[in-house]
Amino acid sequence: MDYLMNETLGLDAVDSGIYLACKKLVAGREINHKTFADLASESVASQFTIYHNDSSMRLNLLTDEYRANLDEQIQDYLDMQIGDRYNYNVSVVWRPFRDVPIGGETHIGRPVPDTAYVESSWITMPYHTEYTRYYVENLINGELEVIGLDLANATVVPREETEKLIVGHINDAINRTVDDAVGTIVKITIEQTIERAQTAINQQVDNVVPGNNSGISDIIIDEVLAELRNDPAFIENASLELSEQITEYMQEVAREEVHAVIAGDVDALASDVTDQIVSNAATVEEAKGEVLDYVFSRIDISRARITLALWDRNR
């Protein structure tokens, strides 16, 4: 970023107080401070919103108060650190499926003018997952193997047929990865929240009115189901637990949205790896590696993008 600032604003730009404050908050040590980065990531993780069929649905309805408290703490922290010198706007966006409108986001501060200094960085989400490239490789190993077989026969099978087969296998690999990722996300962001809320509410009621208070849990479930019913894509199944219904619905929506975003990419990838094999520009294993890299690149569960804009209070 220093190079870009020098090139666009002159050699003294990176020494300005506003730039150094912005960089310190977002890219420096303070990004790891619990009262800022951790709270920011917890805020977006607690939301879980799906934008689908021209509507939006909050699936973590039980965390509204919690999220509002987090955002208030973030604002208090920024006011304390820089509020007396600068106006600011901070945005945090979590998209577990790259470029797909599923996840959470938080925006705090005033509208950003063109003259603002802007710094962005990645922050870690407040949970641990094993979603590594190696994990995805094992997950889609079956699809990678058949892609390898198709590529090995690319010189003896009609080109159009080879590419069609590879496109199908890549789409299968993406669907498998999305379905698995959705299950992980629901478990770490929604299922535990619902279960904790149900337990806490029932315990509170038990302290006042001993006995069976399952009706309280039913109210919680009904609230979430009412939100889901706003989307015609949701198919209610009373025989399943709420978290299972959410998972099935999200898998369907996520697959649809991911494929809408990558339309054309898969065809181009299949054509490219076939070209490389036919022209001896790559080995089958290298081509399979390209497919794996692409599938893995669509998943971004463990981090969120934070952007901080600062500008002088006198402007």
What whole-number distance in Å separates Cα of residue 97 and Cα of residue 107? 20
Give the residues of the chain that fall short of pLDDT 50. Answer: 1-17, 19, 27-33, 201-202, 204-216
Please answer whether residues 130 and 181 qualify as being in contact, where contact means their C-beta atoms are separated by less than 8 angstroms. Answer: no
**Residues in contact with 263: Cβ distance below 8 Å, sequence separation at least 6, in sequence order:** none
Identify the pLDDT of residue 64. 73
Identify the pLDDT of residue 293. 97
Domain coordinates of the chain in residue numbers?
A: 2-128+301-312, 133-297
What whole-number distance in Å separates Cα of residue 289 and Cα of residue 274? 13
Identify the pLDDT of residue 220. 61
Identify the pLDDT of residue 315. 61
Identify the pLDDT of residue 212. 46
Please answer whether residues 177 and 292 qualify as being in contact, where contact means their C-beta atoms are separated by less than 8 angstroms. Answer: no
pTM of the model: 0.78
Identify the pLDDT of residue 277. 95
Helices (H), 209-312: 214-228, 242-261, 265-278, 284-297
Phi-psi region of 112 (alpha: psi -120 to 50; beta: other; left: phi over 0): beta
